Amino acid sequence: MSGKGYTIKTIAVLVVLGIALIVLFASAYTLDEAEQAIIVQFGAPVGDPVTEPGLHFRTPFIQEVRRFDKRLIAWDGDPNQIPTLGREFISVDTTARWRIVDPLLFLKSVRDETGAQSRLDDVIDSVVRDKISSLELVEIVRSKDWDVEDGEIDEIAGNTENKEILKQEVKYGREELVRDILAEAQKVMPDYGIELRDVRIKRLNYIPSVQKQVFNRMISERQRVAERFRAEGQGQSAEILGQTKKEQAEIMSAAKEKQEVIRGNADAEATSIYNDAYKLDPDFYAFYRSLESYSATMGTNTTLILGTDSDYFRFLRESQPGK
């Protein structure tokens, strides 16, 4: 009996220890450096927020731990089509960074990060729309301290309209716009236990319908500039060709003049040589020229009838004296 009693006591102790361990594990929880928590009992928050990292305890089975991030969280809104003060419709893409500073108020107002993202959509998009619609496009795009020389403006802008826009004085500017959006949106964030740290405009662009018109206008402007360059190039080409033809004509004229001088000198020298040759034997020269004339005027099948008193026979008789 004593052995059985000892065994029952041992089992009971082990059961109690097991239950104690289960209760202990169910009641203990840990937080790391990037977390904070709210204890919820039957759907309602209990006590103060738990912000210190380490081991903590709760009532097991009836209390739940809701964890929230301490770090900065990114918010990226959808691009919105907003008209400017000058009625230019532009697409504005905005981003922001925020964090949870009061987890209890955060839980009561928006419950979780999904709800917070939705609330940020409403607040930031509304502020951005109000600010953008109250400004001219140049105030939204350019910075107040942006400075550019007239020569750079002529290079950047092709037409008069763009030049005038670039030359406009900016009194507000992109940086001031972003600061005002952040300050205005921050006013309502404490109501949700949120701290809004930064707001930035990622991208500004024309809406697709206006963008197409702008691109067509840019293409037309570039084509106009290309035509101007092409016309200038054609003018320079014609000038170069004209100058080349002029130089060619001058070179040909000088060459022809030199040719005539050389030919005249050669003819004079040839005449002098002929004269010297004629003086050596005038009769032979006359005979040779006669043969040349016969060769030039008669073909291979030509029959020529000559008289006995012709010069040809005279030359033949005189070439053989005594016959």
pLDDT of residue 323: 47
Same domain, 58 and 181: no
Q: Please indicate, yes or no, if residue 218 is contained in any of the structural domains.
A: no
156 assigned to some structural domain? yes
Structure tokens at 242: 């004209």
**Given a cut of 60, is residue 161 above it in pLDDT?**
no
| Domain-embedded: residue 267 | no
Question: What stretches of the chain show up as alpha helix (H) in DSSP?
Answer: 2-27, 103-109, 113-133, 137-141, 150-156, 160-167, 173-186, 208-280, 282-297, 311-319
In this predicted model, which residue has the larger pLDDT, 34 or 16? 34
Q: Is residue 100 part of a domain?
A: yes
**Residue-wise pLDDT tens digits, 287-313:** 777 777 777 776 677 776 767 677 666
Q: Are residues 134 and 39 in the same domain?
A: no
Q: How many CB atoms sit inside 10 A of residue 132's CB?
A: 23
173 and 86 assigned to the same domain:
yes
Q: Take residue 44 and report the two structure tokens written for it.
A: 């309602």
Q: Are residues 54 and 78 in the same domain?
A: no
Cα 268 to the chain's mean position, in Å?
Answer: 75
CATH number at residue 84: 3.30.479.30
Q: Are residues 33 and 115 in the same domain?
A: no
The pairing of strands 35-41 and 44-50 is antiparallel
What is the Cα–Cα distance from 53 to 34, expressed in whole angstroms?
8
What per-residue confidence (pLDDT) applies to 101? 96
* pLDDT computed for residue 67 by the predictor: 95
Could you list the residue range(s) of the whole structural domain that residue 86 is in? 73-206
What amino acid occupies position 286?
Answer: A
- 49 and 85 part of one domain: no
Do residues 50 and 85 both lie within one domain? Answer: no
Comparing 29-33, 209-213, 229-233, 275-279, which segment has the lowest mean pLDDT?
Answer: 209-213
110 and 130 together in one domain: yes
Strand 80-83, strand 63-69: pairing = unpaired
Q: Are 60 and 41 in contact (CB under 8 A)?
A: no
Q: Of 206, 236, 264, which residue is a domain's last?
A: 206
Is 131 found in the same domain as 41? no
The arithmetic mean of pLDDT across residues 33-55, rounded, is 93
Domain end residue (candidates: 173, 206, 239): 206
The domain tally of the chain equals 3
**d(C-alpha 213, C-alpha 234), whole Å:** 31
Is the same domain home to 98 and 178? yes
240 found inside a domain: no
User: Distance between CA 148 and CA 1 in Å, rounded?
Assistant: 104
Q: Is residue 130 part of a domain?
A: yes
Put residue 61 in one of left, alpha, beta given phi > 0 → left and psi -120 to 50 → alpha.
left
CB 142 within 8 A of CB 167: no
Strands (E), the chain: 28-31, 35-41, 44-50, 54-57, 63-69, 73-76, 80-83, 89-100, 194-206
Q: At which of 69, 88, 115 does a domain end? A: 69
Is residue 64 domain-shared with residue 81, that is, in the same domain?
no
Highest mean pLDDT among 214-218, 223-227, 290-294: 223-227
Identify the residue whose tokens are 């900016």: 170
Examine residue 243 and state whether it is found in any structural domain, yes or no.
no
Residue 173 is encoded by which pair of tokens? Answer: 């500017």
* Sequence-ordered list of residues with C-beta below 8 angstroms from that of 191, at least 6 positions apart, any chain: 105, 109
| Whether the Cβ atoms of residue 69 and residue 97 lie closer than 8 Å to each other | no
Q: Residue 141: its pLDDT value, please?
A: 86
Contact 173, 145 (CB under 8 A): yes
Closest CA to 43 of 105, 108, 94: 108
> What pLDDT does 8 receive?
83
- Report whether 112 contacts 73 (CB < 8 A): no
Is 117 in the same domain as 54?
no
